Amino acid sequence: MPPILNSKRPTNLKGTAKQFLHYLGNHKILLLIVAILVTISAMANLIGTYMFRYVIRIAEDVNQYPNLWKFILIEVAIYLSGALSTLGYTQIMVYLAQKVIYELRRDMFSKMETLPLAFFDHQTHGQIMSNYTNDIDMLSDAMNNAFAMLISNFIQIVGLFVLLFVINWLLSILCTIFYIIIFVYVVYASKRAKHNFEKQQDAMAKLNGFVEESLSGQKVVMVFNHEEENIAEFQKQNVFLQKVGENALRYSFSMVPFVVSVSYINYAIVAIIGGLLVIHPLLGVTFAAADMAAYLVFVRQATLPINQFTQQANLLLGGMAGAERIFKLINETPEIDNGNVTLVNVKGDDEHMIEVNDKTNQWAWKKTDDTLVPLKGDVRFYNVDFAYYQDKPILSDLSLYAKPGQKIAFVGSTGAGKTTITNLINRFYEINGGSITYDGIDIKDIKKHDLRHSLGIVLQDTHLFTGTIKENIKYGKLDATDDEVIQAAKLANADSFIRKLPNGYNTYISGDGANLSQGQRQLLSIARAMIADTPVLILDEATSSIDTRTEALVEKGMDKLMEGRTVFMIAHRLSTIKNANAIMVLEHGVIIERGTHEELLAKKGIYYQLYTGALELD
């Protein structure tokens, strides 16, 4: 088997190894047992072979035959202890490896859930998923197949060379020359193969990406009749992958034949010279037949650990490269939250509220001095500046307010800053200047979890999770009862279509609800927001991708959803925002017009031109 070569090596091996050892350090007792068993296994092989010379010496003397069985039993005991030790440490390593992998997966996912949205803006889903698949697999393989064996082979290599020189220093010098030749070639071939494996990995990543895009965009491919072009492009990339794969494997698979061939030459020369030394001592070196037999066994054994050591070193380095990428995710800076105002259940009127542990569906903000502020949904922006990148401002000196129960609509071309405003309310991003208050409290002072718990959102691109329809609606309130789920679905006008499905509310959906229409998915999204029952609601172009008839049904669900709530609406279809209390027209992060539908039409400005069709939204 050729050395397993990986396309990348860790750039910070020391730091990665230190953090990896921290995880292993959580299982010190198991590691100690593994170390002991590995040492016993490696030493048993060496001692057993070394004892072989004494068995031969006894066998040469007829008078020592009674003692022969004792030595044979000792040999059996030594090799048996080695075999049992090998079995023991391999089983422990399987458990230890899976335990560490479990802990890494746990920590990765836990950290991922705390990262700011900006992190995901700069990372593709494929890159993150690679941490959970390729990188975890590489590290798991290294732990299962290389970690303990690398130590075992190192002990054997050192022990073999020591014993070779103990038995016959003259022949050992000759053997060392051959082993140096083997080592030099393995290093050379490894570098050449590594270079081609890098190209192979890149080519494979591109090919996999091309296939993934083709699968997800199959309808588009068929609509534009690009099947033949896709096949040709696939063939081009596939041929390149074949060539670089051949080059990589040509070098890696040449190692074993080379090592075996040189080892046989070494063995033959050592056997010939050793035989001559048995007959005629040279340079004062004598060689007994029994010593020569043991020596030749050691010579044959030395090749295997050298070859395996190279394989396992490459595998372990590849595992550390995977670990480095895993730790990069684990070490990411989590979302900053310095808020200390929490959301609590209360009862009583606004003047005489008291905090309770029971769920009352009546909420208040609790400050550090235990002051309670009723949760109303009053949201205000004061001279807010924001930029995703420092040199590209999105919002400039923006001020607006939404009183409890008001509906505020945003209109503007793509990139005007509409969605950015709603993202800032959620504190998905931190503002660069100004302030945003919620019921008179700066949102920076509110714990993010509590802030977001008070906000509901319905997006244009609905996302449904794998599971039943009931479970997807309950995502807005995990402890909701079945009656609450049905009531939310009725309010969202989703109940009628749900009951027509094969299993009603227990209908299983997957693939982001691919077996449902866009309108049905949107209604489920509204029901999910409805059951959350939040005082502030964000509707981000929630009806822009559905047909007019379905839109009327969705709007009825939304009207019920918006009753009594502060609502921020982003819309391309201006007919959906005529009843808003205030409409903001944005351009390049600045509010250029504001007012009611009638007031803006009377001004005959940008909104009037958009509404009458003189202008179109980009």
Question: What is the average pLDDT across 166-177?
Answer: 84
Please indicate, yes or no, whether residues 26 and 174 belong to a single structural domain of this protein.
yes
User: Looking at 302, 330, 358, which one is the last position of a domain?
Assistant: 330
Integer Cα distance of 315 and 157 in angstroms = 18
- Residue pair 150/309 in contact (Cβ under 8 Å)? The answer is yes
Helices (H), 331-455: 418-425, 448-453
SS3 state of residue 341: strand
> Given a cut of 90, is residue 479 above it in pLDDT?
no
Ramachandran quadrant class, 167 (left: phi over 0; alpha: psi -120 to 50; beta: rest): alpha
Residue 511: pLDDT band with limits 50, 70, 90: low
- Residue pair 595/603 in contact (Cβ under 8 Å)? The answer is yes
Integer Cα distance of 529 and 455 in angstroms = 9
Instruction: Give how far Cα 394 sits from Cα of 122, 399, 511, 560, Å.
Output: 18, 14, 34, 33
Q: Which pLDDT score, from 0 to 100, does residue 506 have?
A: 93
User: Looking at 330, 353, 382, which one is the last position of a domain?
Assistant: 330
pLDDT digits (tens, 9 = 90+) for 583-592: 999 888 888 9
The answer to whether residue 444 sits within a structural domain is no
User: Looking at 330, 353, 376, which one is the last position of a domain?
Assistant: 330
Residue 277: pLDDT band with limits 50, 70, 90: confident
Question: What is the average pLDDT across 545-552?
Answer: 64
Integer Cα distance of 415 and 65 in angstroms = 94
Q: Which pLDDT score, from 0 to 100, does residue 615 have?
A: 60
> Given a cut of 50, is residue 71 above it in pLDDT?
yes
User: Taking the alpha carbons of 354, 359, 364, 367 in that order, is the dihedral positive or negative?
Assistant: positive
The answer to whether residue 594 sits within a structural domain is no
| 136-166 CB burial, b ≥16 within 10 A, e <16 | bebbbbbbbbbbbbbbbbbbbbebbbebbee
The answer to whether residue 603 sits within a structural domain is no
CA 140 from chain center: how many Å? 14
Q: Which pLDDT score, from 0 to 100, does residue 256 have?
A: 73
Question: What is the average pLDDT across 534-556?
Answer: 72
Question: What is the average pLDDT across 254-278?
Answer: 82
Structure-token pair, residue 336: 């900053």
φ/ψ of 346, rounded to 5, equals -135, 170
The answer to whether residue 511 sits within a structural domain is yes
pLDDT digits (tens, 9 = 90+) for 238-250: 998 888 878 777 7
- Residue pair 384/395 in contact (Cβ under 8 Å)? The answer is yes
pLDDT digits (tens, 9 = 90+) for 407-445: 999 988 877 888 888 889 989 889 999 999 999 999 999
Q: Which pLDDT score, from 0 to 100, does residue 451 have?
A: 92
Q: What is the CATH number of the domain that holds 188?
A: 1.20.1560.10
The answer to whether residue 510 sits within a structural domain is yes
- Residue pair 365/446 in contact (Cβ under 8 Å)? The answer is yes
Structure-token pair, residue 576: 């959906």
Integer Cα distance of 526 and 489 in angstroms = 8
Overall number of domains in the chain: 2
| Most confident of the ranges 50-59, 326-335, 516-525, 554-563 | 326-335
pLDDT digits (tens, 9 = 90+) for 8-39: 556 677 888 888 888 888 898 998 998 899 88
Domain, as residue range, for 242: 13-330
pLDDT digits (tens, 9 = 90+) for 79-138: 899 889 989 988 998 899 899 999 999 999 999 988 888 888 877 676 788 788 878 888
The answer to whether residue 195 sits within a structural domain is yes
The answer to whether residue 497 sits within a structural domain is yes
Average pLDDT, the chain: 82
The answer to whether residue 592 sits within a structural domain is no
> Given a cut of 50, is residue 493 above it in pLDDT?
yes
- Residue pair 97/316 in contact (Cβ under 8 Å)? The answer is no
Q: Which pLDDT score, from 0 to 100, does residue 435 have?
A: 94
Residue 544: pLDDT band with limits 50, 70, 90: low
Q: Which pLDDT score, from 0 to 100, does residue 444 have?
A: 93
Integer Cα distance of 161 and 165 in angstroms = 6
Q: What is the pTM of this model?
A: 0.72
Question: What is the average pLDDT across 478-504?
Answer: 88
Q: Which pLDDT score, from 0 to 100, does residue 106 have?
A: 93
